[in-house]
Every structure is written in structure tokens, then in C-alpha cells.
């Protein structure tokens, strides 16, 4: 189905012939090499932000490492190491003795194994797939063991698998002899370091103990759409819908949808997304991309909306279902991606995003601190700074979880039955009072009235007091306490 709603921007792409493109790419590769040799970080990030990103995986992994290491200075003694590092030829990294966490199993490792077992499903070669899975597992486990305060989420493995392919995909494809393995493990050390930095600076919000902060991020998508196209926003009732439809795209940075396959063109799009994120030090990129995709496939969405509205009488399900359906249909549409990336590059510089983020997110969110897109020139965090941000963000998340649990409790005690009492508390209180008098009268028949009346006098005064003071304030419990005292008294009186 043609994408009709794109602007004329894409035409510039159409005009570029294949030879021109490959010439451009070759030239760009040389410029990237030059920038890498000179360690010119501003130039490297400039190159990653433009068309074709870092061009191929060889330049890409060098560029990612340079950029990421310029964004976070890990203390050398804490270089990410694996517990089973015996097989690694690691002369440069032999000071792992002071890192005790490496051998302590992380609470989420079981889930990691379940997901790793199901990773790289599109890689057909069993040997290659096994190697990729082994590396993937080692990298994830090493990061989790080093930072036990981070929680693993299903989807983190998809993100890390992108890094595995960029850093080791070519080598693993070419492997077969032991000599190659040594080269590969050297790459594995820089792979781990990059994943570690990317996790701390970009994915932190997703690795808290709940989905609260990721959901906050998803809500930004709705705000962007509202700002860009209010009619479309209203038509789909996006103001009343929680944007869970975007959760897998955002949490996996599209690596779940564009699941990376070796020798597949999808990879260029996917890797290009990561190029843009890392070069701009901005986690706005996935949110912008998602918003731009929705705006780009607007016509299909509206068409499906009209078509399916009779099948669903629940708008939440309808919108969720059609978005998922249309996005899946468009995911391999090259033209849609090119247009989306052009728009995203432009919007990523939009300063209004910063204030939007500040109004919607916790103040330690990656979108406000370490991956805000606001400080891409030479901003380098120290490990200490990032650990402090992480600690505070975890604290804030815990606070939020507690608040949420309290709210839930409040809601469940405020069940419909109790609401009824609230409304009719006066009537109920009066009928209970009548009931209480009936008990008193029945006791009178048993000749216990005279003693009782004397003693219940206080309780009756109590009731009167409560009525005059509390009933005015419409308290639900207005009748409870004085009646309790009567009933307790009566109980003790009748049993004695």
C-alpha cells in the first residue's frame, strides 16, 4: 500500500542514483575513519547524525565505542568483565579482582536464559546462532552482575543483540578457526563496555523495578502527536488511551519489530536508528520515530479505524489493534523509514522537547539527564555521577511504587458497596440506632433494663456527640464507634 501522506522531503532521496549513493557512502566511510583517527568527537557525532549514519559495521563499532566512551568515563578498575572470562585473552583488563559482583548471580538471570534461548531466531545457521547466543548471554549477565540494582526486562536482550551483531556479527560469520576467536574476544571486551555505557546512560529508565518510568516515556509520544496533528489525535481518541501499543518498539528501540537478521536490509534501518541515538546522546529519538511513523501512516490508520470500528465497541482495543496491524504492515517499507528518519533528524533539535520531557518525566530520567539530546557536545559523565543519578532514580521509583500501591488500596476500600454506605450513612445510622433501641427494649423485658439504662446513658451521650460533630462532616464512620461501645457493653452484660 503506498504511503500517501509523506511530504516532498523524500524526493531528494528518489533523485539520488545507486552509484551516487555508493560513492557518497564510500566517501563518508573515509571521513569517518579520519574523524576516528583524530578522535574528533564532534565530527564523529555529526557524521552519525546524517544520512547513512556510520555506513558499515566496521566503522560503526569504532564510532559507537568512541562516542559512548566520550559520554561516560568508566573507572578503569571497573571495566565490565564476565565471570567466566578465563577463555578471554585479556591482557589489557587483568585488574578484575576488586569487582566482587561478577560472581554473584543476578536475580533475573533465569529470565535472561529463557530469552537468550529464543534470540536470533531469524539466523538460520545453527552454529552461528549458537555463537551469537553465547555472546549475548555473556554480555547481558556481565552487565547485570556488575549493576545488581538494575532489573532485567524482556526486550533488553533485543537491544543487546543489536550491539552483538554490530561488534561481532561479521567475525562470527567468518569464524571457524581458533585464531579468529581471539580477535573476536578482543571485540567482545569493547562490546561489553559499549553495552554497559549504553545501558547506564540510555536504558536506565527501563530497568527500574516497575514499568512506571517507561510508561511515562510512552506518554510523550501522545503529546508529540497532539502537538503535530490535533485532529488525528482526537479522531483516534488518543487522549483517553494509554499508549501501551508502543511499549515493545520503545523498550527494544525497534529491535523487536526490525528483528536483526544477518545480510538483511532491515539492519541498515535499525543500525541507523542506533547511530542517531548515540550520536545525539538522545533517547528522544525512539519516541520521535514512533510518533513520526504514526503520523506517516495516518491515512491507513484512519482507514482501518473506520473499517474496524464496527467490530470493536471498545476504542482502546480498536486503536491498539489497528496501530499494531498498520505498523507491522509498514515495517518493511523502506520509503516510510527513510521519510521517518528525515523527519526525526529534524525534530531531534526541537528545544520544546526538553520542556515537554521535564513536565512529563521524573527528574533523573535519561531524557532529562544522560540522554537528553541537550548536551551532545563533549558532555562526559563520570561513573560516580551516573551511579548517583541511578541511585536517586531507583529511590524515586520505589517511592512511586509505594504511592501507587497506596492508591490501589484506597481504591479497593472505596468499593461500590462502601460507596453506598457513604451516601446513605444517615439512613443506616438511624436504622441501626432503632435496632439498638430494640435491643434495649428487649433487654428491658428480661428485667435487665434498669441497670442497662443507667450504663448506656454514657453511650447514648456519645452517640449524640458524634452526630452533632461528625455527621455534619459527613464521616462514613460516624455511627460505628458509639454503637460498638453499646454492643460491647450489651454483650458483656448479657453474658454475665
Partner 1 sequence: MLQFKLVLLGDSSVGKSSIVHRFVKDSFDEFRESTIGAAFLSQSIKLDEDDTVIKFEIWDTAGQERYKSLAPMYYRNANAALVVYDITASDSLSKAQSWVEELKNKVADDKLVICLVGNKLDLCQEDSGKRSVEISDAKQYADEQGLLFFEVSAKTGEKVNDVFKSIGESLYSYKKEELLSKSEQNGTNTHGQVDLQLQKPATSDPTSCCT
Sign, CA torsion 6/9/11/14 = negative
Do residues 175 and 131 lie in contact, with contact meaning Cβ atoms separated by under 8 Å? yes
307 touches partner 1 by CB under 8 A: no
Binding letters toward partner 1, positions 418-457, x by CB under 8 A: ----------------------------------------
DSSP single-letter state for residue 152:
P
CA pair distance 189, 88, nearest whole angstrom? 9
Binding letters toward partner 1, positions 313-352, x by CB under 8 A: xxxxx--xx--xx---------------------------
116-124, 170-178, 265-273, 390-398 -> range binding partner 1 (CB under 8 A):
116-124
User: Which of 392-399's residues contact partners 24+ apart within 8 Å by CB, and which partners?
Assistant: 392/364, 393/204, 393/205, 393/208, 393/213, 393/362, 393/364, 393/365, 394/149, 394/208, 394/209, 396/362, 396/363, 396/364, 397/208, 397/209, 397/210, 397/212, 397/213, 397/362, 398/209
CA pair distance 435, 429, nearest whole angstrom? 10
Closest approach of partner 1 to the CB of residue 142, in Å: 20
How far from the centroid of its chain's Cα atoms is residue 417's Cα? 37
Closest approach of partner 1 to the CB of residue 365, in Å: 18
Answer for which of 244, 349, 437, 453 binds partner 1 (CB under 8 A) is 244
92 touches partner 1 by CB under 8 A: no
28 touches partner 1 by CB under 8 A: no
62 touches partner 1 by CB under 8 A: no
Closest approach of partner 1 to the CB of residue 214, in Å: 10
121 touches partner 1 by CB under 8 A: yes
b/e code 139-162 from CB counts within 10 Å (16+ = b): bbbbbbbbbeebbbbbbbbbbbbb
311 touches partner 1 by CB under 8 A: yes
Closest approach of partner 1 to the CB of residue 148, in Å: 16
Burial of residue 480, with CB atoms counted within 10 A of its CB: 0-12 exposed, 13-18 middle, 19 or more buried: middle
211 touches partner 1 by CB under 8 A: yes
Residue 170 or 209 having the CB closest to partner 1: 209
CA pair distance 221, 292, nearest whole angstrom? 9
CA pair distance 133, 330, nearest whole angstrom? 29
251 touches partner 1 by CB under 8 A: yes
- In the window 377-416, what residues touch partner 1 (CB under 8 A)? 404, 407-408
- In the window 149-168, what residues touch partner 1 (CB under 8 A)? 151, 153-155, 157-158
Which spans of this chain sit near partner 1 (rule: CB under 8 A)?
111, 114-115, 117-119, 121, 151, 153-155, 157-158, 209-211, 240-242, 244-245, 247-248, 251-252, 256, 259, 311-317, 320-321, 324-325, 404, 407-408
Amino acid at each position: 500500500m503506498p504511503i500517501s501522506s509523506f511530504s516532498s522531503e523524500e524526493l531528494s532521496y528518489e533523485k539520488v542514483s545507486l552509484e551516487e549513493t555508493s560513492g557518497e557512502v564510500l566517501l563518508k566511510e573515509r571521513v569517518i575513519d579520519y574523524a576516528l583517527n583524530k578522535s574528533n568527537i564532534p565530527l564523529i557525532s555529526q557524521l552519525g547524525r546524517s544520512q547513512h549514519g556510520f555506513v558499515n559495521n566496521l566503522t560503526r563499532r569504532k564510532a559507537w565505542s568512541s562516542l559512548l566512551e566520550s559520554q561516560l568515563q568508566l573507572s578503569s578498575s571497573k571495566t565490565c568483565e564476565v565471570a567466566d572470562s578465563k577463555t578471554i585473552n585479556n591482557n589489557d583488563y587483568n585488574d578484575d579482582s576488586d569487582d566482587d559482583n561478577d560472581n554473584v548471580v543476578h536475580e533475573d538471570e533465569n529470565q535472561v536464559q529463557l530469552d537468550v534461548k529464543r534470540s536470533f531466531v531469524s539466523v538460520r545457521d545453527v552454529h552461528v546462532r549458537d555463537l551469537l547466543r553465547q555472546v549475548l548471554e555473556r554480555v547481558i549477565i556481565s552487565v547485570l552482575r556488575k549493576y545488581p540494582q538494575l532489573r532485567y526486562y524482556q526486550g533488553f536482550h533485543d537491544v543487546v543483540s543489536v550491539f552483538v551483531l554490530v561488534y561481532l556479527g561479521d567475525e562470527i560469520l567468518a569464524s571457524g578457526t581458533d585464531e579468529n576467536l581471539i580477535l573476536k574476544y578482543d571485540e567482545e571486551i569493547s562490546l561489553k563496555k559499549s553495552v554497559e555505557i549504553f545501558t547506564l546512560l540510555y536504558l536506565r529508565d527501563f530497568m527500574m523495578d516497575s514499568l512506571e518510568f517507561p510508561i511515562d516515556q510512552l506518554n510523550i509520544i501522545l503529546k508529540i502527536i497532539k502537538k503535530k496533528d490535533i485532529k488525528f489525535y482526537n479522531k483516534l481518541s488518543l487522549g483517553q488511551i494509554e499508549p501501551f501499543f508502543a511499549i515493545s518498539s520503545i523498550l527494544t528501540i525497534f529491535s523487536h519489530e526490525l528483528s536483526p537478521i544477518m545480510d538483511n536490509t532491515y539492519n541498515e534501518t535499525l543500525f541507523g536508528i542506533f547511530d542517531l541515538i548515540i550520536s545525539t546522546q538522545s533517547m528522544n529519538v525512539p519516541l520521535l520515530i514512533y510518533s513520526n511513523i504514526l503520523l506517516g501512516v495516518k491515512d491507513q490508520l484512519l482507514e482501518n479505524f473506520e473499517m474496524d470500528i464496527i467490530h470493536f465497541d471498545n476504542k482502546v482495543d480498536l486503536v491498539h489493534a489497528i496501530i499494531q496491524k498498520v505498523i507491522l504492515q509498514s515495517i518493511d517499507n523502506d520509503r516510510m523509514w527513510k521519510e521517518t528518519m528525515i523527519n526525526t533528524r529534524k525534530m531531534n533539535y526541537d528545544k520544546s522537547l526538553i520542556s515537554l520531557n521535564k513536565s512529563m518525566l521524573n527528574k533523573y530520567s535519561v531524557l532529562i539527564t544522560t540522554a537528553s539530546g541537550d548536551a551532545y557536545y563533549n558532555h562526559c559523565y563520570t561513573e560516580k555521577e551516573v551511579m548517583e543519578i541511578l541511585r536517586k532514580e531507583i529511590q524515586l521509583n520505589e517511592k512511586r511504587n509505594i504511592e501507587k500501591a497506596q492508591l490501589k488500596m484506597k481504591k479497593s476500600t472505596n468499593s461500590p458497596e462502601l460507596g453506598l454506605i457513604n451516601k446513605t450513612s444517615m439512613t443506616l445510622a438511624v436504622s441501626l440506632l432503632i435496632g439498638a433501641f430494640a435491643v434495649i427494649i428487649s433487654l428491658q423485658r428480661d428485667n435487665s433494663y434498669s441497670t442497662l439504662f443507667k450504663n448506656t446513658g454514657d453511650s447514648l451521650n456519645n452517640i449524640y456527640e458524634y452526630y452533632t460533630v461528625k455527621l455534619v462532616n459527613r464521616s462514613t464512620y460516624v455511627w460505628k464507634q458509639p454503637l460498638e461501645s453499646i454492643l460491647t457493653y450489651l454483650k458483656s452484660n448479657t453474658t454475665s
